[in-house]
Structure 1
Amino acid sequence: MAEKEATVYVVDVGKSMGKQSNGRSISDLDWAMRYVWDKITTTVSTGRKTATIGVVGLRTDGTNVPLDDDEGYEHITVMQNLGQMLMPDLRRLREEIKPSETDEGDAISSLIVAIQMINVYTKKLKYKRKIYLVTNGEGTMSSDGLESIADKLKSDNIELVVLGVDFDDSEYGIKEEDKDERKAENEALLRGLVEDCDGVYGTLAQAIAELDTPRVKTVRGIPSFRGELKLGDPTKYDTALRIQVERYYRTYVAKPPSASSFVVKSGGEQGEPSMETAESSKYVDTNLKNVRNVRTYHVDDPSVAGSKRELEREELAKGYEYGRTAVHISESDENITKLETSAALELIGFIQADQYDRYMNMSTSNVIIAQKTNDKAALALSSFIHALFELDCYAIGRFVAKDNKNPLIVLLAPSIEPDFECLLEVQLPFHEDVRSYKFPPLDKVITVSGKELKEHRNLPSEDLTNAMSKYVDSMELVDKDEEGEPIDIIPMEDSYSPLLHRIEQAVRWRAIHPDEPVPPPSEKLTQLSKPPKSIQERSQKYLDRIIKAADVKKVPPKAKGHKRNRDVDKPLSGLDVDELLHREKRAKISAANAIPEFKQTLATAETIEAVKDAAGQMEKIIEGHIRTSFGDSNYDRAVEELGVLREELIDYEEPGLYNDIIWRIKDKILKEQLGGDRQELWWLIRRSKVGLIDKSVSDRSEVTEEEAKQFLSSK
């Protein structure tokens, strides 16, 4: 279970926070809130009720504190009481946290308010308590009772973090020139308080710079298996080995947050969404509604209207493909095919470590440890691990995670560290999973007669081989330190998943800034998208040598519209084959064989009217396929036909003809004039990018790239 947290953010919203200091294009408050919003939204995204947040405004226009006597606490406002923060709270705070019209208010008094909020909420329960104070240090601060405040923070186990706008920090290299005397005194006062209570003191510039480094989530291990590690059958032999073990993930794919589908309710007002509380104590947007998928099943039946009869799911039977035939197996017969297995990890053999090929690994790795609080199991497993290690071999096991689950073959490798021992486990393939492919050799060419050629145009020369070898060596992500020892240029612990963290960053930003564009990804996320600059410079001379040795030449761009003014290839004999075979020029395209016949029609078209007629026939065929499609049965076919129509009209330099057709089809789809709701088809068209032909594709098009993008994105 995750640890309970109580965090209070004290934000200075004084009038002086509204100015733009040190050449920044945004106010000091907006700059400071970048850090605060990032911390808050990160907590909100977890959805944990035990991760509570409170917000206190310092130097506000009014006063609102949870104390019997607010004397000495003027211009301090509790903007958010401690509790789980949700999206409505974020939207409200976004509007409330603005620069005030006063610079009155004591930062030390605001800390007392934050301490009081934490103590009242957490009582004596086990919580991780924390207070963040973000200020520019330009207000009046009282030094009375600092020692008692520091003692209170330490005794209540509350961590204090003070981040200052343009605070001096020699370690980070920040020093504000011509600093105001009061600000310098306040910085010294806050630094002394933080040192007395063992807190954290720093400049805001460093905190914001560290936001570019993704925060890795620490996941508490959950066992995926608890059972016995067996050697032998304990029901038959008394000497069989049984060890109580547990299985945990060692590596696991981290996935970004998934999106949900919603639609705006009909008649819903545009603007700020209204919220209401559900029974689960979660806030829901009353203007949105979940999208529900409904699946229907039809079979051919000439006796009903439309020749299609709808079936309920309960009326269906399972069928397995045997070639191109569906074979039905009843539920009673299917039970015979299921293996009756018991959850266990059974050892079936051993293999020397040097005889195992690493490419056999089929899964992420897991760790096998002894059952917790079971000393006998820990001793037995430790003996087994050390035996494997000393003999330099691996164990092969048959693993069943739960009763009646299909068995897996796994490899167990010993892992011994100074303070930890375990078995590393990965899945192995069955014999049917192994695919053996034969490829031609890379160092020779074998002719049809069986002759081996060492020199051939498809074989690299010795000069090219040497150049490639040196180029690969120069691309090594390894450098040397001052002592000449090799070091990694990009250590494993500094490589992050761009997909995971970029989506999380975008979601957090959009929660606070609904109308502003999402900022570009940080360099930490994009550093692996290309080699480091030092590596590129080091390897450039070897790359140039490869280009010279391989005689690399630039391929000319594909000619556009090469079919419009084409010269028909004629046979050397001068005979007209079509005339000899009495082939007629195709006038009508059949829907059953639309694509080949469309291409044949264009190949024999002599006038632009013939091209327009063929395109018009394809438009009617595509609309017919959409209109008669049951569900999405004809969607892929329609998209493929659109793609062929688009490519051919690009080659014939008639982009306007295709653009008119796709506009009409889109209009009919969105107006549900092609057999009902075909929104899924429009999504497929957008994904396949068979929209308008713009100027970047055809010089004859009058559509800009922006208009083409707008065509696909609009509904």
Structure 2
Amino acid sequence: MSRSKEAMMIVLDAGVSMREPLNETTRKAVVGSRFDAAKTAVQSILSQKMLFRKHDEVGIVMYGTEGTENHLHETQGGYEHVQVLTNLDEVSTRVAETMASAQAASSDTKADILDGIIVALDLLIRRTDKKKYEKRLVVVTDAATPIANPADMEVVCSMVQNMDVQLQIIGIDFSITDVTKIEPLAVKPEEKHHIKLENEKMLLSIVNEVHGDLMSVSKRIDFLAQGKTRTVNQTTKFRGNLEFGATLQIPTYVFSKTLEQRLPTLAKESTVGEPGVGKVKMDRLYHSQSKPDEEVAPEARIKAYKYGSEMIPFSTADQASLKLETTRSLKILGFLPRDCVDRSMYMSNTDAVFGDFTKPRAQEALAALVRAMADEKKVAIARFVARANAAPKVVVLIPNTCGGKDGRLRCLWLQQIPFEEDMRQYEFPSLRVPKATPTKEQQDVADALVDALMLPSDKQQLHSKAFCPSLQRFYDTIPKRAEDPHCPVASLPPYVERYLREDKELFTAALPSIQSFNAAFQLKEAVKAKDQKKKFFWSDANKNAAIKDEPLAGDDAAVAEPSGGGDDDDEFDLDDLLGGEDVTSVGSMNPISDFEALLSAKHNKVAKAHTAVSGMQDQIATLFGQESAYHAKALQCLLHFRRRSPEIHYSASFNAFLQTLKDAWYLSPVWSLLETHNVTLLSTKDDPTTDVTPSDAHAFLHGVVAAPTEPTVVVDVPAPLEDDDLFADLE
């Protein structure tokens, strides 16, 4: 149930005594005179209302003014020097501007505080009669002017009590602020004006009579200036039973314990429209691609899910059938050891589960459950549905035993935990390797750093209330922008900034520990490879370097691993020589990588594929033409070229290239190497689109025809094309 609107009347002392300097000290704001302090307190109240309670109504009455303007004076007479600044209405920028321009009287006038209170109560009665309002009366005064008719005090007390009005008095330079004691404690009577002292006693008596509040203006200003927070009604998030199967149920209430407070959303308004009516409304019109001039009616539209490159339509009935129909419930699934649920699995804000406040037995049962879970160090896993047809959640219920003596505050903390689809798996290298384990000296330095930066006991409570910087700056800027649209963004309040800055005293004292930690864990700058602007060729490479491409099992001609026990300085990295530039041709340093890079190009695929094939053929022929140490590299490139040719539809080109190699190197060590590794033509067994039979491929390599076998039927099935190959010829 929403909170009722509040009707607040503010009675402000505007007598000539309010022009005197303020004797009290304010820590959150700088004020000059008493009236400036009173205006600051009232403006803070108005700002709070506009930010958080915009539907509350506020009226302002000033007494001790040079003029008179109020309803009782016009109808009954009397009540002079009382002016109604604003009637009861929702707070607006006009009210704030009116309050900002108010001034105290420049000459001595009759300032009767009881007259001002009676006029304010009259406005309150006429506005809230027979209506549901929470009524509040705030009086801001220094009580320095005499009261003409003290007998009206009884009338004021009876009116406040009969109307159920909450009275708050903000005293300015009061010597009496204790509602339990009438006599002043810190100021002697002879040091204080007799009239002011008697008025303070009278106001204190009224506060005691009607059970009101009395506060000094400095404390009120500091209270309103520090931490602007929205008042949120404590409503239940869930009311139902905590179910243990079908036979045991505990009536419970679920409240939100923490909830992220966000910045208010920005509203769109038209700059060309009139103020207050220039609201922006967005309409969407849908048109068909085939008929762009015709609007598609709502009944002709349907939603769809994307499945690959297609859209699968789903009607309203289909969407409804996809939703799981659920009922509001909180069901226990079982109990687990507390160590089984890590805090990193918590997904949501924290909720609190209490026993039904209207049923003492339910509270006792839940308190007993909480105590048992705490003693056994167990947590409960439950299925939670906050409202009907809402998505079910898996939650963990954690016992809280920090309640009072009666156990009323003992509850279960409720936290949502993830489903398997909600988990994110990250494979990080282990920190348990010896190389990552700190030494005893390093661990001692780290322990000393933590101890040195521990907050002292007198400062550990400073961070118990940390306000959000962005929200506080927003709340400070909005009232100023309402008065001046061009004013800059408000600076960060000091009480908020201290949470964002390190404690200089603490870090100055801990500087030796910080320096020791820095010295114990020195970071070495990684040496960057120099830019290789000079072109390198395979013949320029270190002959002791290992070939990092596809190894050949059992190849005697393969280059051996370099000696030196794995010294990093002797390793030869082909990627360092490439310089990281875009590949435009197949080079001699890493032909296979260049070949694959050209084939995976996103643009000009046909031209890049032709460049890759011709470049690979040139490199293979060049490597076979050099000394035998490079034949292994050539063989790796040839095997890779053979394997990839059917996939890129270059089988005919490979067979023609292999015929060229046979013509050049037949009856040589090169051809013997190919025979050893059975590198022959691509036949129908490898690619059904070729016209070379397996027997022809065997005869091509070994010079003899293979034994005839039973004929097999070969079905000419076109090779499947990828999406990129389908559109390759269009570029």
**Structure 2-normalised TM-score?**
0.60
Aligned to 2:418: 429
For 1:350 and 1:219, locate their aligned partners in 2 and report how far apart those are by CA, in whole Å. 34
Q: Report what 2:454 is aligned to.
A: 476
Pairs aligned (count):
519
Aligned mates of 1:150, 1:473 — CA distance in 2: 61
CA distance in 2, matches of 1:180, 1:70: 38
Matched, 1:571 2:534: yes
Equivalent position of 1:495 in the other structure: 466
| Structure 1 residue 132 corresponds to structure 2 residue 118 | no
Structure 1 length normalisation: TM-score?
0.62
The match for 1:674 is none
Q: Is the 8 A contact 1:243 1:377 kept in 2?
A: yes
Secondary structure of 1:222's match?
A: coil
Q: CA deviation at 1:553?
A: 10
Query: Which of residues 107, 110, 117 in structure 1 aligns to 2:116?
Result: 110
Q: CA deviation at 1:39?
A: 0.6
- For the pair 1:229 / 2:242, whether they are aligned, the reply is yes
1:437-456, aligned counterparts within 5 Å?
437-442=426-431, 444=433, 453=435
Q: Counterpart of 2:495 in 1: which secondary structure?
A: helix
Structure 1 residues 553 and 214, CA gap change in structure 2 (3 angstroms): farther
**Which structure 2 residues correspond to residues 82-481 of structure 1 after superposition, within 5 A?**
82-95=88-101, 97-108=102-113, 109-122=115-128, 128-136=134-142, 139-142=145-148, 144-145=150-151, 148=154, 151-152=157-158, 155-156=161-162, 158-167=165-174, 184-197=193-206, 198=208, 199-232=212-245, 234=246, 240-265=247-272, 285-286=276-277, 289-297=278-286, 300-301=289-290, 311=296, 314-323=299-308, 325-371=310-356, 373-374=358-359, 377-378=362-363, 380-382=365-367, 384-416=369-401, 417=403, 418-442=407-431, 444=433, 453=435, 464-477=442-455, 479-480=456-457
Q: Check whether the contact 1:146–1:193 (CA below 8 A) recurs between aligned residues.
A: no
Secondary structure, in 3 states, of the residue corresponding to 1:373? Answer: coil
Q: Distance in 1 between matches of 2:341 and 2:532?
A: 59
Deviations 1:291-344 (CA, angstroms, capped at 9, x unpaired)? 23344556654x869xxx875565443333445554444555545433333332
> What is residue 556 of structure 2 aligned with on the other side?
none
Task: Sort the Cα spacing of 1:100 and 1:510 in 2 relative to 1 into closer, same or farther, 3 A.
Answer: farther
Structure 1: gaps spanning 5 or more residues = 235-239, 274-284, 445-451, 482-486, 556-566, 583-591, 594-715
Q: Is the 8 A contact 2:258 2:351 kept in 1?
A: yes
Cα separation, partners in 2 of 1:433 and 1:98, compared to 1, 3 Å:
same
Tell me which of 57, 66, 81 is aligned to 1:61: 66
- Which letter does structure 2 place at the counterpart of 1:440? P
> 1:8 touches 1:114 (CA, 8 Å); kept in 2?
yes
Unmatched tracts of structure 2, length 5 or more? 179-183, 541-578, 586-601, 604-731
CA contact (8 A) 2:473 2:492 kept: yes
CA distance in 1, matches of 2:76, 2:486: 38
The separation in 1 between residues aligned to 2:344 and 2:199, in whole angstroms, is 58
SS of residue matched to 1:402: coil
Assess if the C-alpha contact under 8 Å between 1:14 and 1:99 holds in 2. yes
Partner of 2:50 in structure 1? 44
Once the two structures are TM-superposed, the CA of residue 523 in structure 1 deviates from its matched residue by 1.8
Distance 1:35 1:438, change over 3 A: same
SS, match of residue 441 in structure 1? coil
Question: Secondary structure of the residue that 2:71 maps to in structure 1?
Answer: coil
Q: Secondary structure at the match of 1:488?
A: coil
Over 3 Å counting, the alpha-carbon distance change for 1:341 and 1:207 in structure 2 is closer
Query: Is contact 1:153–1:159 with CA below 8 Å preserved after alignment?
Result: no
The amino acid of 1:521's aligned partner reads: L
Shift of 1:349: 1.6
Superposition deviation, residue 104 in structure 1: 0.7
Q: Secondary structure at the match of 2:120?
A: helix
Whether the 8 Å CA contact 2:189–2:197 is kept in 1: the answer is no
**Bigger Rg, which one:** 2
- Which amino acid counterpart does residue 534 of structure 2 have in structure 1? P
* Aligned mates of 2:533, 2:375 — CA distance in 1: 78
Aligned to 2:12: 11
CA distance 1:313–1:570, change in 2 (3 Å): farther
Question: Identity percentage over the alignment?
Answer: 25
Distance in structure 2 (CA, Å) of the matches to 1:136 and 1:334: 67
